[in-house]
A and B are shown apart, each in its own frame.
Chain A
């Protein structure tokens, strides 16, 4: 595929990225510092949503435990930063640890040819085991290098610093710039990845694994590849998250957070990248608002949202909006045929 075509295919991604860049430079002038700090956490979660959007929406891999890689990344960063005394290597270590763990887990499940539903359950189980494992590490004997794992209370995360300058810590406002830049870079990377040969083979495997294998692609390797890459991206989210919050606790691995990640992607729409990101911001502010009152429980609302979307809007918001616009532009009969074809083949657009 030549460069011109890639650019054309990536046009929506680039437009959204530009909007993101404008937002990144405007936000600190418009918003208060408190909002900016909150926003940093939301951005970290958006990176997590993006990683799941990639592996589920484009790789067709039902990973219920994306928070495992996110949390693992956050823990690896924190422990690394405490031991190295700076964040530069810690970030790299964090991404490596998550990706390596994903590759190991992925080897067992993909090469064992575990079906997608089992895969969801296994990844979820791994997440829950992490939760109960790290909760039990409260004693002083549980430490890696100089870092106490701290059990239930978690660990305080050292702040980010300028590369190779351990004394130049970043202030919350600067962390916001870093987070936003990381989100935009990850978004562009994912948007680019799905237009490459690798990405298109992954989509082919999602649509019809047998046919792709008969064409000579080893689906196990491609699945392992996209699974590992998405785990690395999730780790970036984890690094940003523990910087936004200031500490990392085992709660990141709990069932609620695992479900939340799935809900972002379901609501935003499988097969798009911007949808889950937008859904993350929307639901982040919804749950914050819900936290301020005591009538409705967060679990209750999120459960209702999940059931509602699975039963009534199974494609999610972004594809539904796109379809609606496409449907309005075309004559009616054609739109109905397109919609039916869309349901059958799950035609997806970025």
Chain B
């Protein structure tokens, strides 16, 4: 019984982890049809923000929950103003430009902080016990944060005026601007929010994974495949994508080890796309956010 609970806990953590690293990407993709190839680097920047801030004596919770999203969100807004806004409607060029940005950020961070791992910070919470097994309290905390983050994004999109305007712009930009909405401002805010959520995720994962200039590459493959499998609905897509792929990954990793788990995740995603080219939410849950 304890073993079952421990395994389910790990499975849920894997799913939450996938959802956490993908949500920022999904927001930007779902709202703006922009696939941000610098997503991994935004996560990396979130991690570095936390490391630099804690080394400077800032409380780790403030660094993770406030500073990381703030800093990366501001970087996101700058990137949108300088780079992305010239390329709206040209998906391939956006993809290439953000890839250039990704290399640029890796290079910049390597020049500043060096190519090796920056000072690691240990996960701040202790161990929780499940009968004979133990699990990290920080993992439980991450699951909780992911759920809260989903609720917060849902509430923002569904209950606030900004969310209403943003959803309107997403559905029909011309009509929104005809009704007096500044669509460029909405795009800027959306990109900033997506980047901020990404920064938060990067900051929260920094104690678990450590930070490296090239750490983005380890996240993006999973994040992309989750978002693409999920389809264009931001929350429902990320959630279903994470549950399906995280579940498959977790089960295979439990049976055969982590290597096969990742391959199984990829194979599942490719077969899924053969069956549902527009992602899960392209076929099911269409009315969801």
Contacts and interface: CB of A to CB of B under 8 A. Distances in A.
B262 A133 contact: yes
B265 to A, nearest CB: 8
A125 B97 contact: no
Given A132-B218, A303-B102, A266 B107 contact: no
A128 B217 contact: yes
B83 interface: yes
Classify the secondary structure of B's interface with A: helix
A255 B217 contact: yes
B277 A113 contact: yes
Nearest to B96: A310
Interface in A261-314: 262, 266, 296-307, 310-311, 314
Given A121-B224, A303-B104, A254 B273 contact: no
Given A299-B107, A299-B110, A117 B35 contact: yes
Nearest to B258: A136
Interface string A125-169: 110110111001100000000000000000000000000000000
A62 interface: yes
10 contacts: A111-B274, A112-B274, A112-B275, A118-B277, A120-B92, A255-B214, A299-B106, A303-B103, A303-B105, A311-B87
Nearest to B34: A117
B32 interface: no
B95 to A, nearest CB: 6
B228 interface: yes
B218 A117 contact: no
Interface size range on B against A? 35 or more
Nearest to A300: B107
Given A109-B274, A266-B96, A310-B93, 18 more contacts: A108-B270, A108-B273, A112-B274, A112-B275, A113-B277, A114-B277, A115-B277, A122-B228, A126-B266, A129-B221, A129-B262, A136-B259, A297-B111, A299-B106, A303-B101, A307-B97, A307-B100, A307-B101
Interface in A82-116: 105, 108-109, 111-116
B218 to A, nearest CB: 7
Classify the secondary structure of A's interface with B: helix
Contacts of A108: 270-271, 273-274
Given A118-B228, A122-B228, A311-B86, A306 B262 contact: no
A300 B108 contact: yes
B273 A259 contact: no
A124 interface: yes
Given A122-B228, A255-B217, A306 B91 contact: no
A307 B37 CA distance: 13
Interface in A293-350: 296-307, 310-311, 314
Contacts of B87: 310-311
B220 interface: yes
A114 B272 CA distance: 11
Contacts of B214: 255
B34 to A, nearest CB: 10
A279 to B, nearest CB: 15
A125 B259 CA distance: 15
Contact of B266 (A129, A136, A297, A307): A129
A125 B224 contact: yes
A270 to B, nearest CB: 10
B266 A306 contact: no
Contacts of A105: 270
Nearest to B38: A303
B220 to A, nearest CB: 7
Contacts of A298: 107
B225 interface: yes
